[in-house]
Chains A and B, each alone.
Chain A
């Protein structure tokens, strides 16, 4: 039980990162390999607010998320907008380039020494039935489900959500209906960056704060997205939870070093048996 529980906590983080990936892919058709690095930068910014300015946890979190939104907007307006109609391979190379630039810049600014990062909520483990859970882990669980709920409502019931879903399906038809597709895409990048930022800030207390912190998370998030079918938002989160539990089981029963290997095996297996993912529809594999 305890293994399942801690798997779920990691799963939430993977799920949040995957949610950002899938959101951006679903709407703008771009696979954002820089998602993890954008999250890492946001996490560093939050740390600057925390330690250099001495703000509290919640104000720092909110300020960092505002930064994340602006950061996402800037990335889209300055870089991604220009490759929107480029072939997918070019887009992938651009996001990989962003990945390396962000990673290098963060290293230059903040150095490469891992620092510890405070938890959101302090306190001793609570016993829930047969499992122990720290308040911080509980916080991660809650925030993941809260964000999922928010996104569900946003997509289903708001004008912007409707415009996002429409733009994801048919750019030309959306333009003809008066939707400013570029602005919708910019908003998507902002939201994607915020989701990544939350994931980063949740990751930092567990892994230490450094420029490499999101590498493994991003790989797991990709695995989660693939399992979820890469276009389904709930699929991404459920995929994340599944990967988290799976990884923890492997680490416990086989060996911690093998968890990445088995995760890749799982991706291959899923792609082999059900290439559209478990939650993906027919139209998933549009290209590549």
Chain B
């Protein structure tokens, strides 16, 4: 449903993407792996329309998205949960969730908020607390919950495990899987390749702005070369 074709993009003056092609089919989890500076976040920002690619094509359901604004993408159901959480620290947990539904005008917002609270019961307990006072893990839950409030068809998750206690990481990954089971496609950017491959259907490995390797996550995980280079085993 979402498709990048030979995308070149600059991040400042750095030629960050040098021809990235990838696809996110309906209902799947796709992981996008690679080291620091490989171009993972830039790819997400191209999809969210924060960065305009120099070359290449970006389509959603067969239509080019190259002239759309960031808010158009949210309307289309392509929602990014950014790196480092970036919750609004001075807004309460509930206000953060409301912002997630900013584009929506339907009446089910309250219902979806309850659903987020069932995914993350801790957030409900902290409903009226300022988001800045939450722990890192809780902020990540809030960031994911906030993106869910926009009713994503495709959720772009940028490093949900970054700087979070290991116990919480597995909890968060379990929920990511659950979100996917309810029909949302996920493009998961991760440094934690092992974790990401274990829940995704298909993986792309970026290196210096190019797709160095791609394949079914199961196959890649068992590939000796990949294990040596990316999984550190």
* Residues of A bordering B, CB below 8 Å: 159, 162-163, 165-166, 169-170, 172-180, 283
Query: 13 A-B Cβ contacts within 8 A?
Result: A166-B88, A166-B99, A170-B88, A176-B48, A176-B70, A176-B79, A176-B82, A176-B86, A177-B150, A178-B71, A178-B103, A179-B99, A283-B90
User: A172 and B69: CB pair below 8 A?
Assistant: no
Interface size on B, residues (CB 8 A): 25
B129 to chain A, nearest CB (A): 16
Q: Chain B contacts of A163 at CB under 8 A?
A: 99, 102
Assembly CA distance A170 to B89 (angstroms): 9
* Residues of B bordering A, CB below 8 Å: 48, 50, 69-71, 74-75, 79-82, 86-91, 95, 98-100, 102-103, 146, 150
Assembly CA distance A170 to B143 (angstroms): 13
Assembly CA distance A162 to B95 (angstroms): 8
User: A178 and B95: CB pair below 8 A?
Assistant: no
User: B90 and A176: CB pair below 8 A?
Assistant: no
Other-chain contact of A180, B69, B90, B91, B150 (Cβ < 8 Å): B69
User: B95 and A170: CB pair below 8 A?
Assistant: no
User: B74 and A169: CB pair below 8 A?
Assistant: no
Q: A162-B98, A178-B150 are in contact. Are A173 and B71 (CB under 8 A)?
A: no
Q: A162-B98, A162-B99 are in contact. Are A175 and B91 (CB under 8 A)?
A: no
User: A166 and B91: CB pair below 8 A?
Assistant: yes
Other-chain contact of A178, B50, B90, B91, B102 (Cβ < 8 Å): B102
User: B98 and A172: CB pair below 8 A?
Assistant: no
- CB nearest neighbor in A for B75: A178
Assembly CA distance A165 to B90 (angstroms): 8
User: A175 and B89: CB pair below 8 A?
Assistant: no
Q: A162-B95, A163-B102, A177-B100 are in contact. Are A169 and B71 (CB under 8 A)?
A: no
Q: Chain B contacts of A170 at CB under 8 A?
A: 86, 88
3 smallest CB-CB distances across A and B, nearest first, come from A178-B74, A178-B103, A173-B86
Other-chain contact of B71, A162, A172, A180 (Cβ < 8 Å): A180
A163 to chain B, nearest CB (A): 7
Assembly CA distance A170 to B90 (angstroms): 10
Other-chain contact of B82, A169, A172, A178, A283 (Cβ < 8 Å): A172
Assembly CA distance A170 to B81 (angstroms): 13
